[in-house]
Structure 1
Amino acid sequence: MSLESLIQSIKSYNPEANFDLLKYAYEFGEECHLGQKRKSGDPYFTHCIGTAEILVDLKLDLYTICAAILHDTIEDNEEITRDKLAWRFGETVADLVEGVSKISQYHFRGGSRQRQAESYLKLLLATAQDVRVILIKLADRVHNMETLSFQPESRQREIAKETFEVYAPIAQRLGISRIKSRLEDLAFKYTNPEEYKLIAKSLNQKLAEREDYAGQMAEEIRDALAQSGVAAEVYGRPKSIYSIHQKIKEKGTPFEEIFDLIGLRILVNDNADCYRTTGVIHENWHHVPARFKDFIGLPKANGYRSLHTTIMDEGHRIEIQIRTHVMHEVAEDGIAAHWSYKEGVPSTYESETIFKWLRGMLEDIRELRNPNQFIKSMKHELLADQVYVFTPRGDVIELPAGSTSIDFAYKIHTQVGNTCKGTEVNGMITSLRYRLCNGDRVKIITDTSTHPVREWLRWVRTARAQNRIGQWLREQDRVQAIELGKRFLEIEMKRRRTDINMWLKSERVTEILQILNLKSPSELLQHIGTGQRLSADIMKLVAIDNSSEDIESTDGITFHSTPTIDLNIMGTDSIRIMKCCHPIPGDEVVAYVTKGKGISIHRHHCQRIANEEADRLIQVDWEPTDEISYPTEIIFEVQDRSGILGEVTTAIAAQEINIRKGNFGPADSNGNMATNSAFERVGYNKMMLEVTGLEQLEQAIRAIRQLKEVIRVSRN
C-alpha cells in the first residue's frame, strides 16, 4: 500500500488525523529498512506497511498506525533508540515501538517451561499496560503468517504452534474475532495441512449451494421482520476452516452435518429490536431452546454482546446471531472498537472494565510459582468458555467453564474463599466441588473455623483460587515448620536443662544466625522444622552440655528419652504421610526429620526407618479429624461364593468409608495369590480404604468379621 492509499484509508474514519506525522513515519521507516529483504525477496518495509494496513482496518488511532510502521526499527537498526524515536515522533509512538520490541525479544518456542512462563507473563503485562502494544504485535503476527510459506518447514511448524498457543487465544480474549479466526486458519494450514486441504476442498465444493440457500433464508427472515416493523440487515456469515475442524473434533459432529450448517447474522438498530427479532424468528421457525444464549443480558468479559439462536428449516440447521450495529463492531474488533481513533485513549467505560479484568487475571496468574501450573492456568483463563452466575444480591459473576463453588468464593473475596464451608445453589445445599452452570444463584456459607485443604487444588479451575489456596497452605507450612522446629529444639534444650524461650532471646542466637546466614530466630526454627537443619546440629554451636540418654524400643528403633510430641498433621508440604506403611490417626507413629524435605510420618514398626539416625526420629501423637481421610490397606479371606464381595463392600460402605481400590482373587492353601481356584474355593482379597483414623478402620474390620463367610480379616 502506498502512502497515499494509507492516508485515504485513515481519512475515511479519522479525517482530522495528523497526516504530516504519518508521512514522516512512512519516510523514516522506509529509510531505516532500506536494502533489507524478506525471505520472499520483497523489500522488508512491505511487512511494516502490511502490519499498519491491518490496524487501519481496525480503525485505530494515528499513533498506533505510526508505531506499526516503525515497529521493527529499534530491533533491526542499532542506531535507532527509543529516545531518538521520542524526539522525532513523540513519547506515545516511542513507548509503543519499544513495547513491541521488548515482546519480540521473547520466544515461546522450545526452551524451559520457566522461560516460556516468563515470556507469557511479560507479553501479557505489556498488554495490560497499553493494549495497543499487543494490537500491533497481533497485526505483525497476522502478516508474518500470511507470508509464512517462504520459511523452512520446521520454522513454519514452530511459528504456527506459537500462534495457536499464544496469539490466537489472546486475540480471542480481547474479543478481536476476525484477527483470531485469521490466525487460527493460517496456523492450522501449517500444523495440520492435510486436514486443512480436505476441509477447504469440501467448503469450495458446496460453496455455491450453501450461499444460495443462505441468501434465500436471509430474504425470508428479512421479509418476516419487515412485516413486524423491524428494519434489519440479514446476511450469511462465513465459517472458518479451523472452527469447522474444532466442531468435528470436539463435538463429534459428522463431517456432512457440519457442511449443512448455515450461519446467518442479523444487525438491527437497538437492544429492543434484538429481542423483537428473536421473537419473530421463533414464531415463524422451529427453534432449538437449548441453543438460545443471551449475551446482551450477560455480556462476556471482553465486551461481546449478542443473541444466539438456532432454527431448523427443511432439514437444515441455521445458527443465527442477532445484534446491533455497535455490538457488531465490538464483536468483530473487540477491545480495538473501544479505542478512540482521535485521542488514542480508551473511549468507553466498557474498555476500562476489560482492562481491569485483564490486569486482575494477570495479577492472579503471575503469582503462581510452578511454571507448568502457570502456563496451564493462563491457557485455561484465555481459552475456556465462560459461565455466568449470580450472587444473592443479583450481581453477575463470570468464571471459566468448569469452575466450582470454591472458585466463586475466591472470586468474591479471599477471606470468603479461605473460610467457605458449604454452598447453596438455587436454594439447595451443594458440595464445594459442584460445577457451576449458567444462571446459577450461588450463596457461600462461611465458618471462621474452616480453612483450605490441599485437595481443593484438584477441584478449582481459576488462577485466583489456585493462587490464594496455595498462599494459605504455604503460610501454614511455614507456621507449622516453625512450631515443629521449636518443639524439636525444645527437646534438645530440656535434655540440657535450658529454657528455650530465654535461649531464643540470647546473644548466642544472634551469633548462630550470622554463622548460618539466617535472618531471624523464626527462620532458624523453620529450617529445623523442615529438616534443613537438625536441632542436634544447632546444639553443637551452643556451649551447653551435650550429654543425654537414649533408649531403644522393643522394635530396635532408637528414640531420645524425651516426651512425645502432639503433632498437628494436616497433609501440608512440610509433613508427608508415607505410603510404605500407610499410617493413620490413632496409630503409634514416629516423625522422621528428612534432610531438607520436611517431616515424614511412619508407623512405629515400619522397617523403612529401622536403621535411620536416632536423632532424626521423634515419637508423636496423632489425633484423628473428621475433615481428612487417609488410605490404609486391609486383607481378608472369604469362602468363595456369588455375591460375597458385594456384601463385604456393603458392610464397609455402611461405615461411611470409601473404597479407593481392590484386588480380588482366589488363593492357595498358603494364602498366596493364585490365578485359578484349583486348590480350594477361598478368595484372598486386598482393599485400600480411606478412613479418618484407627477407630473407623476397626469399625470396618468388625463389620466385615460379622459376615459368616469371612475366614479372617486384618490390616495389611
Structure 2
Amino acid sequence: MQKYALQGKDFSQIYDLLALRVLVDEVHDCYSALGVVHALWHPIPGQFDDYIAMPKESMYQSLHTTVLGPGTRPLEIQIRTHQMHRLAEYGVAAHWRYKEGAKRDNKFEEKIAWLRQLIEWQKDVTGAQEFVDSLKTDIFQDQVYVFTPKGEIKELPSGATPLDFAYRIHTDIGHRCVGAKVNGRLVPLDYQLSTGEIVEIITTKASKGPSRDWLNSSLGYVKTANAREKIRQWFKRQQRDENIARGRDQLDKELSRLGVSGINLEDLAKQFKYDRVDEFYLAVGCGDVSQHAIASKLVEKEEAQKPPVLPTSSSRPALPPSGIQVMGVGDLLTRLARCCHPVPGDEIVGFITRGHGVTIHRTGCPSVMAHEERERLVAVEWGRVREQSYPVDIRIEAFDRDGLLRDVATVVAEDKINMTAVSAVTNSDHTATITATIEVTGIDKLSRVLSKLEAIKNVYVVTREVSQK
C-alpha cells in the first residue's frame, strides 16, 4: 500500500488486484496493520486466518484476511514480516541461512532454485511428494535444518545430535541437558537429526554437568567441534588434581581393557605433545585425549617405518599372511598365538618353536612369561599387511537382565564385526558373564567396539581376555 501511496495512486486505479500483500518489519506490526485494514474496510466473516500464531506444517507464517474493498469488491490481504516472506518464497533452508548471517553461496542458491523448479514440474505427477523427499538428502547432504519449539531454525552438520542442537542454543542448555524430544517423542541423545524435525531439549537444574561419555567419539553423542570444545572446557574448569587422578585411572583402564602392557608412558605422552606424564593424565581426564585416540597412537607406533611383508612358507597355504617381520631373519614361517590373539597395534614378541616356525605372542602373554627357555624369544614387529581380521577374545560383566545377550550381538553386528563364538553364564549373584570371540582389523577397531559394549545398559566392565595357559 505504501508503494502505491508514494506513486500518488488510490484504489480506484488498482481494482484489477485480487490480493494484496503487506510486508512489515516486526511481528507486532503485522497485527497493527491488520487493525488498520479492518478499520478501513469491513472484514468478511469466516475469512480470517492467523498463521503467525498457528504456523502451517511447512512453518509458513502470515495473517490472511478478506475484506470488502473499494467498490465492495472482495480483496484478500496477506500481512507478514520480511523474514516470513523469505521463508514463504524461498523455503526453510534459504530463509535460515539469511537469518543467521551466512555468507552468500551461489551453489546453495542454485540448489534452492532447482528444487523450486522440480516442485513446479512435479505438481501434477502422482507421488510428487515422495519424489521431492527423495531429493532432500542429495541437495542438502552436508547440513540439516531443524526447529526449536518456538519455530526458530538451526543449521547443523549432517549427523548432528540433540546435544549438538542444545549447545548451539546455549552452552548452559547443553551442560544441563538430560534428554530430548523430536517431533514430540523421546529420543536418545545420540539420535541423528533430520531436516524439518522439531527438537525440544529437556534440562534440569539438578544436572551435575556433561557426561564424559559425550566426548567418546565411538559413542556418537556429539558431532560438532563447537559442542565438543564446550564440553572439554567444562571439564577443564574442574579441579586439576581430580582430573589428573581421573585421567590416570582412565588410561590404566583403557590399556588394561585392550590387554596392552609394557607401554612407556613418557613416550606415549610425548606422542601427544605433552612433556610430562601428569599433563598427559590431565588431558585424558579433561577429555582432550580420547580412548580412541590412545588406541590409534598405539597403531601409529606400529605402522611407522614398517618393513615389507615377508612371504610365508608355501608348505602352509592354509595360514593367512601374518605380516610379521622377524628381526635379523629372512623368510621364516610365522603364526599368531591362539592363547593371546595379537592384533596390529599390540606390542609383540616371537617364540621359536620346534618345527613350526615362530609363534607371535603379545608382550606380557602369560604363556611366554612362564616359559623357561628365554633364549628362544626373538624380536618381531608388524609388517605392512593388507587389511584382514584377527580373532580377539573379550569378556563382558553385567547385571543380568532380559535381552542382554541380544543387545551385545546387536552392537557387534552394527559395527560390522564378525562374532565367531559366544557364551553366556548367569551367576548366583544375579550377574552375567558373557565371553565372545570377535574379529577385528586392529587395536583401534577393538577400542571402539569395547566402548560401545560398555555403554550397553547394565554392563559394568568389558575387557580383552588373555588365556592363562
TM over 0.5: no
- The structure, 1 or 2, with the larger RCO (C-alpha pairs under 8 Å, 6+ apart) is 2
- TM-score of the superposed pair, with normalisation by structure 2: 0.32
Q: Greater share of helix residues, 1 or 2?
A: 1
- TM-score of the superposed pair, with normalisation by structure 1: 0.23
Rg: which structure is higher?
A: 1
